[in-house]
Structure 1
């Protein structure tokens, strides 16, 4: 039986700025940090890679874990930090908030870049921003507490 989503994963060229953003600024709790050397066959098999090595951290906030990898090998291909959300693949990670305006203002004051200020779409206020690597994240506030999409009571 599938119970739900456990985590989302991001590969990053530099783990420290991403930790400063997601752990220190956003508020994720760091659950662990591990590293594996080249030649770890079990990990290579699961990931479909050859001779991988990396540092990996697991973070948690509310009902979501966020896993981040800083690969040393094989050499990763850089992502375009301006990658448009219409391109195929991952588009964004959405964070549920209770006071979107104050969260938005706090993140802007810390230097976070957003596409636009929060906008209202009926029952939700939302906007997209960029993490230090250019990955898109959304902050949203569901305005109706009885909305079935509410994930945290």
Structure 2
């Protein structure tokens, strides 16, 4: 019976170390500064929607939205575990006429940075900070076909 309290303390300690989800603090100013969504709905044809489930240490989900047949730019939206929007970021489009090309988007997260590669009339590579939703870098290159 002496081992039961020790086992319970050990289990509690391990759950605090490995099972804890970190919450992201969002200020009132950040909520007011979240831009309106470019894509209020996703139909899978004119607007594609994808998401990445974030790890338990980050919590929530990262949504990716874009138009696959137009120069729509790319919208990223991070939500917490309850579905509350933490930030929304929009990768600016190039300004090319509608339906001039197929628009392909790849998104990768590494070292708390999101790299968005948007391939259309040109290739845009933009890096965004995962925690804050702010731009780290942007480059535009000729698209290799």
**Is the shorter-chain TM-score for this pair beyond 0.5, marking a shared fold?**
no
Structure 2 length-normalised TM: 0.26
Question: When you count helix as a share of all residues, which structure comes out higher?
Answer: 1
**Which protein has greater RCO, CA pairs closer than 8 Å, 6+ apart?**
1
